[in-house]
Amino acid sequence: MQFYLAALDDLVRRKDENPSIGIILCKEKKKTIVEYTLRDAKKPIGVAKYKVVKQIPKLLKGELPSPDQIKHLLGEV
């Protein structure tokens, strides 16, 4: 994760943007594994449990960009 964050900040991040943060999505949240894995981390990294669903929850439906919006945004990078 540290490698990717360093590369992202060096090669992609603009001067007016804050430093990148890492997010690790895990099938299960094992506190011991997370603690040892991230013990020497120098940059902020979030760890969260995730669940795969077939439909976007109603609460998030209006908050997420559409596939066309994502395609447009990625075209600008």
Mean pLDDT of the 41-47 span: 74
Which uninterrupted H or E stretch holds 35?
A: helix 31-38
72 has pLDDT over 80:
yes
Residue type for position 22:
G
Please tell me the predicted confidence (pLDDT) of residue 10: 94
Range of 55's domain? 22-75
For the chain, how many structural domains are there in total? Answer: 1
Domain contains 70: yes
Average pLDDT of the residues in 42-69: 80
User: CA angle 61-66-71, nearest 5°?
Assistant: 155
Does 36 fall in a domain?
Answer: yes
pLDDT by residue (tens digit) across 13-30? 999 999 888 877 767 767
| β-strand partners of 48 | 25
Is 0.75 surpassed by the pTM of this model? no
In a domain, 15, yes or no: no
Q: Evaluate whether residue 11 is within a structural domain.
A: no
Q: Does residue 7 fall inside a structural domain? A: no
Of 34, 32, 4, the C-alpha closest to 19 is 4
Is residue 3 included in any domain, yes or no?
no
The answer as to whether 71 is a domain residue is yes
